[in-house]
């Protein structure tokens, strides 16, 4: 079964090309929640000329959709996309429950490999009970990985974690039946090896992951920011942070292409989701992105808080998947 990536920059009802079916995805801003497939609705305003946007994985035949506990999912023979949302009175505990539910669903449905996760939570940089909420999230996520017997370093999924204006802890995920190849960035310390100054328990994600999806070699690049080594760079300088982020994207895509027998992806052929902390930076960031990768770059730009308070921009990318288009 073929899988395509479809970006729709429009408000109102979700639209998909005729003859395709939604495996799952993420919707931002002013987009109605109706339609097939588990689509995570995120309270994050869409910027740069649109009031709503969706990033969807499409298939040419309908999947098997259902619920497993709090997880809504849709599955093909090789892939499953799912979403879970929990109100997070205590974010660490809610995160552990959410990821515990994801792992229980994957075990029950028979999809052992978590490839990619998208995480959104309100007030990610705020301190609650003496601990930043993002650090609480990391502790809960790592606890769930440990409880399920999954590794907490090395072969861990690509991921992002962003702050929204309001709403529950929201997790979307893509998993499969075959192994994937985690990719690290030579310019950065692996997130799961961050020193204790960034929290007692490190983030559990790879910088990117190579996976066989719908018969093609896909590359999922995690949320990427202006971090070199383990340090954030260029405080209060949106242009410099964007350029550093683009350098990190280039480095991780090059690292993915160095694997024997792998497909060499090119940044100019990838699809992007751009997160900016301040709405007024959207135009500048998207201009720098297009200057770097080409004017035809496909990017959704939304306002969201990055996981470190000093970071102003984060960019994630997907490469290798055919693009769904309106017909």
| Tens of each residue's pLDDT in the chain, 327 residues | 689 999 887 766 667 888 899 999 999 988 765 567 899 999 999 997 677 899 999 999 999 999 999 999 999 999 999 999 998 789 999 999 999 999 999 999 999 999 999 999 999 999 999 999 999 999 999 999 999 999 999 999 999 999 998 999 999 999 999 989 999 999 999 999 999 999 999 999 999 999 989 889 999 999 999 999 999 999 999 999 999 999 999 999 999 999 877 678 999 999 999 999 999 999 999 999 999 999 988 999 999 999 999 999 999 999 999 987 643
Which residues lie across from 200 on neighbouring strands?
A: none
- Catalytic residue, chosen from 184, 244, 314, 316, is 314
Q: Domains, the chain, ranges and CATH?
A: 3-319 (3.30.1330.40)
Q: Can you tell me the distance from the alpha carbon of 49 to that of 301, in angstroms, rounded to the nearest whole number?
A: 9
Q: Can you tell me the distance from the alpha carbon of 109 to that of 128, in angstroms, rounded to the nearest whole number?
A: 36
- Could you confirm whether 280 is annotated as catalytic? no
Kindly compute the dihedral angle of the four CA atoms of residues 59, 261, 246, 304, in this order, to the nearest 10 degrees. Answer: 30
Q: Can you tell me the distance from the alpha carbon of 243 to that of 287, in angstroms, rounded to the nearest whole number?
A: 11
CB neighbour burial string for 121-131, b if at least 16 within 10 angstroms, e if fewer: bbbbbeeeeee
- The candidate with the shortest Cα–Cα distance to 25, out of 48, 51, 52, 47, is 52
- At 92, list the tokens: 């660490």
Query: What DSSP line would sit under 93-135, residue for residue?
Result: HHHHHHHHHHHHHHHHHT--EEEEEEEEEETTT-EETTEEHHH
């Amino acid at each position: 079964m073929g899988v395509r990536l479809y970006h729709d920059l429009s408000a109102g009802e979700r639209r998909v090309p005729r003859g395709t079916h939604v495996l799952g995805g993420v919707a931002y801003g002013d987009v109605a929640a109706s339609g097939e497939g588990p689509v995570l609705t995120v309270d994050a305003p869409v910027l740069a000329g649109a009031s709503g946007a969706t990033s969807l994985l499409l298939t040419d035949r309908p999947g098997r959709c259902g619920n497993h506990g709090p997880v809504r999912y849709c599955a093909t023979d090789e892939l499953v996309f799912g979403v879970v949302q929990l109100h997070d009175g205590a974010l660490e505990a809610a995160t552990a429950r959410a990821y515990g539910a994801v792992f229980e669903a994957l075990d029950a449905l028979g999809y052992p490999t978590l490839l990619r996760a998208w995480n959104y939570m309100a007030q990610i940089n705020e301190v609650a009970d003496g601990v930043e909420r993002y650090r609480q999230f990391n502790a809960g996520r790592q606890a769930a990985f440990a409880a399920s017997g999954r590794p907490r370093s090395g072969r861990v999924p690509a991921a992002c974690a962003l702050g929204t204006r309001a709403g529950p802890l929201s997790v979307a995920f893509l998993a499969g039946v075959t192994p994937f190849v985690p990719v690290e960035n030579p310019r950065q310390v692996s997130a799961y090896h961050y020193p204790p100054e960034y929290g007692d328990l490190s983030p559990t994600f790879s910088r990117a992951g190579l996976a066989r999806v719908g018969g093609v070699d896909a590359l999922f690049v995690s949320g990427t920011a202006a971090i070199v080594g383990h340090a954030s760079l260029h405080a209060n300088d949106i242009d410099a942070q964007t350029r550093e982020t683009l350098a990190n994207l280039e480095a991780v895509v090059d690292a993915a292409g160095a694997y024997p027998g792998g497909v060499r992806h090119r940044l100019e052929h990838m699809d992007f989701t751009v997160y900016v902390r301040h709405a007024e930076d959207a135009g500048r960031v998207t201009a720098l992105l297009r200057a770097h990768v080409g004017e035809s770059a496909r990017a959704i730009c939304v306002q969201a808080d990055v996981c470190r308070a000093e970071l102003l921009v984060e960019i994630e990318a997907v490469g290798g998947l055919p693009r769904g288009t309106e017909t």
